[in-house]
Structure formats: C-alpha cells, structure tokens
Amino acid sequence: MTNFHVVIPARYASSRLPAKPLADIAGKPMVVHVYERARLSDAQSIIIATDDERIAEVAKAYGAPVVMTASQHPSGTDRLQEVATIMGWSSDDIVVNVQGDEPLIPPTLINQVAANLAAHSQAGIATLAEPLHDVTQLTNPNVVKLVRDVHNMALYFSRAPMPWARDAFSEAITALPNPELYMRHLGIYAYRVAFLNAYVQWPPALLEQVEALEQLRALYYGVKIHVDLASVNLPAGVDTLADLERVREIFKQGLHENV
C-alpha cells in the first residue's frame, strides 16, 4: 500500500458558483462529501486547505482537519506547497490534490494516482486521463486534451484539439480517425513534496499563461508527468448551478453509493 496525504483545496470565491464548497448536497456541505470520499481511500492523512473561516468552521464541525492558507496564491499547486510546509512533510512524501468540487470522486482513483507516482521515480507528478470519443469534447476548450509518450509520460496538454489529424481534419472535424490517440485529462494529481518546493520557485511559463494550464509549467521546466488511464469512471464535478442540481439529484436517488 502506498503512503500518501490528501489535500482538498476549498476556496469560498467562485465566479460561476459563489460559496461552492458550502453548497448543500443531501444535508451536508459539498466539501464535507469530498472529505468523506477521501476518507475511503488509503491516505495517511486528509487536510482541507482553505483561506476562509466560514469553510474552516464547517469542516471542523464535521471533524475534518483544516489548514488555513494564504488568501492569494497564483495556483492551486502553490497552495498545496504551503500546506506541505506547514505540516512539515518530507521531500519524498506524496501529496494527492483532490478538488473540493468533486463530491463523487471514487476513492479508487485517489489510490491509483498515488500508487502510480510511487511506482515511477522518474516522475514528479502523476495524473489520470480517460478516452475521448466525442468530437464536441475534442473541440471544447474547457476539455483539456493530452498526448503521451511510449512510457506514458505526458508530452503536452492543451485546450486545443490534439493530436491534429492533418488529412482527416483538413476541411472539418467530423470524427476521430484514431480514437485510441485521443484522451481527456482528469484534474487529479499526485505530487512529491520536493517537486512542490521546486515549482513555487520557478517563474510562470509562457505556455502555462497562454493555455491557462498550470501543469505546463512543470513540463516547461523538464518535469516528467506520468499519465495513466483512470481505472474507473470519474463523475463530473461541480462548476455551475446546473452541475450542482445534477449532483443533488444523484444523491437524492441514492446513486452516489454506486460510485
């Protein structure tokens, strides 16, 4: 069994859904559901990282450990590094970032991404992906695509359609010519603390700023990112009010117990 920590970043401010971590789902705040899912994993410890006292008070009321972080961080990775420093974790400790808006995250995936990083010493990060079959997802800039090498290390992440099928896409994108090549990135990461400490010292990369994808900073500075296909499906998280209502209905029907 892999030893690792889970950090759940939870920010009160959200442009599309303010106070999102505290949104009620089946009688509990969303961030508490995320915490309870993480507790089903093999993590040594689970921390909710927040800069808001309202979130901290609610989390503590449910027995969740909380670390207060700075209100301004350029990225979620910077926030994780602050938590690792506060907790005194060693440089080779593994930290899994579980987003605070994933109330249906399967514990299996948390274990998987941690185990993958532990098994690949040449990588500083591990993450997951799933096959992409829908052309509309390929062209959707909100869906992050990736390509990887023969060793399952990431070559690039992008919001643009890729890989670009020169002949098949010459007039229009109507189908995926080689479906096995197309993958959607899932936003779950495992990091080594040594990487986190290095990351916050590096200036943002232009690629990172252009694509608005912080993992591109790691690639730019030569860090290997291991990418595995998710062993189970990752249900969509909560970004909008419509997403929240969808998840509430899943809980209402008891379908969350099957995830």
* Mean pLDDT of successive 10-residue stretches along the chain, which has 259 residues: 91 78 92 95 96 93 94 84 96 94 94 97 96 90 94 96 87 83 94 96 94 95 97 86 90 72
Is 66 inside a domain boundary? yes
Total domain count for the chain?
Answer: 1
Alpha helical stretches, state H, 178-254: 193-199, 206-211, 215-220, 241-252
CA end-to-end span of the chain: 22
Is 226 inside a domain boundary? yes
Is 161 inside a domain boundary? no
* CB-based burial label for 259 (10 Å; 0-12, 13-18, 19+): middle
Distances from the Cα of 203 to the Cα of 69, 74, 216, 234, angstroms: 21, 11, 12, 32
- CATH number of the domain where residue 121 is located: 3.90.550.10
Domain that holds residue 90: 4-127+185-202+220-257
Is 251 inside a domain boundary? yes
Question: What integer pLDDT is reported at residue 123 of this predicted model?
Answer: 96
Question: What integer pLDDT is reported at residue 89 of this predicted model?
Answer: 96
Is 19 inside a domain boundary? yes
Alpha helical stretches, state H, 19-155: 30-39, 53-61, 76-87, 107-119, 135-138
Is 157 inside a domain boundary? no
Instruction: Tell me if 48 sits within 8 A of 8, measured CB to CB.
Output: yes
Q: Are strands 5-10 and 45-50 parallel, antiparallel or unpaired?
A: parallel
Instruction: Tell me if 195 sits within 8 A of 208, measured CB to CB.
Output: no
Is 140 inside a domain boundary? no
Instruction: State residue 146 phi and psi, 5-degree precision.
Output: -150, 160
Angle, helices 107-119 vs 30-39, to 10°: value is 60
Q: Tokens for 12?
A: 């009160």
Question: What integer pLDDT is reported at residue 240 of this predicted model?
Answer: 84
Look up residue 92 and give its DSSP letter.
T
Is 16 inside a domain boundary? yes
Q: Tokens for 131?
A: 């096959």
Q: How many CA atoms within 13 Å lie on the side-chain side of 76?
A: 22
